[in-house]
Amino acid sequence: MEKVTYIRHFYGKERQVSVDSSLFHLKPNQGEPYQDVIRFSNFDSNNFLVYTVGKHVYPQNHDMTISMQRWMVMFVADGNMRCGAQELSKGDFVVLPSSCSTTITSKKEQVLFYWCTTNDDVHISTLLDCGYQEKDMLFGHVDDMRPITEFFENTIYHFPNKCDDRTFLRGHLICLYSYIAPSIVNKQKVSDKLFSRCLQRIESSQGNVTVDFLAKHYFVSRRYLYTMFKEYKNMSPAEYILAVRMQAADKYLRSTNYSISEIAELTGYSNYSHFSRAYIKYFSITPSDRRKQVLEALISEERDTNNSIVVLDE
């Protein structure tokens, strides 16, 4: 069964939902923040498809958190905004993978952006057909925005009364991706920059950070982080976080007078026993025995230094 739903939502007011496109006939007031959304659904058991396209006139100094259950394309037509850690301005686009969340924040001015989502397999197969081999986050910039703006405007406000199957919708995506594909930022450069940011975040927090936090903060999937860390470090992000955490703890044990409980707290452990178990598992020695080793080594070094002093008679 096919269904086309039209949604208009003015911020701060109740959303209007209709199966009739006449909902969009009246133009909103100039500068009034709103969103227009059209959703096509095909619930045929052999051809399940959900395709949603939206236009946001977004309020200034506003933010919201979105969680993607399907791939999402976002395109900024006017203004400046932040999508997770990424700064976006007029002409920028970002393609977000499914199973991740991010925060969208507008700057001081109002922002106009478009977006669309559909099933993962449709997005991925379309990307491959357009010559882009990766299945992860993409972003870039286009100078001529007219084709993309017209694509969204035509899809939202000139949707056909009858949609036969996914071919029509997939054709729309192919038009979009074919246009933006040459502008997609080189994936290697994106990965280099993202990986550097992840390392900085992990190391500056002494490993007191989670994989979920990194995924949400940099709007990528856990799978993408895993693949990236295996490529650059030959270990998972969780393994690297633990390594940084344990090395920080070991440095505190060797070079400070902090108590072990204080060190546990500094490295993000809620209590001594959790910290001690993690440290033993990583270094095969207890934190207290490690500190004894350091003290014994210092005493031995001092003794050797004293024994090496030779007094010469005049």
Tens digits of per-residue pLDDT, 266-306? 998 988 899 999 999 999 999 999 999 888 888 877 776 66
**SS3 assignment, position 91:** coil
Q: Would you state the pLDDT for residue 191? A: 66
Please report, rounded to a whole number, the percentage of residues in the chain having pLDDT higher than 70.
Answer: 82
Length of the chain: 314
Please compute the mean of the pLDDT values over residues 90-110 and round it to a whole number.
82
Please compute the mean of the pLDDT values over residues 41-70 and round it to a whole number.
79
- Please check the confidence at residue 167 and state whether its pLDDT lies above 70: no
- Please check the confidence at residue 187 and state whether its pLDDT lies above 60: no
Q: 53-85 burial by CB neighbour count: b if 16+ within 10 A, else e?
A: bbbbbbbeeeeeeeebebbbbbbbbbbbbebbe
Q: Would you state the pLDDT for residue 251? A: 93
Higher local confidence (pLDDT), 84 or 58: 58
Please report, rounded to a whole number, the percentage of residues in the chain having pLDDT higher than 90.
Answer: 26
Q: How confident is the model at residue 10 (pLDDT cuts 50, 70, 90)?
A: very high
pTM of the model: 0.61
- Please check the confidence at residue 98 and state whether its pLDDT lies above 60: yes
- Please check the confidence at residue 1 and state whether its pLDDT lies above 70: no
Question: Six-digit token pair at 91?
Answer: 């002409």
Q: How confident is the model at residue 245 (pLDDT cuts 50, 70, 90)?
A: very high
Q: How confident is the model at residue 122 (pLDDT cuts 50, 70, 90)?
A: confident
* H/E element, 185: none
**Distance separating alpha carbons of residues 279 and 264, to the nearest angstrom:** 10
Higher local confidence (pLDDT), 227 or 248: 248
Mean pLDDT (the chain) is 81
Nearest to 258 by CA among 246, 269, 268, 266: 266
Higher local confidence (pLDDT), 15 or 97: 15
Most confident residue range from 120-124, 205-209, 219-223 = 205-209
Burial class of residue 14 in the structure, from the number of CB atoms within 10 Å of its CB (0-12 exposed, 13-18 middle, 19+ buried): exposed
**Distance separating alpha carbons of residues 127 and 109, to the nearest angstrom:** 33
Please report where in the chains the tokens 């440290």 appear, as a residue: 279
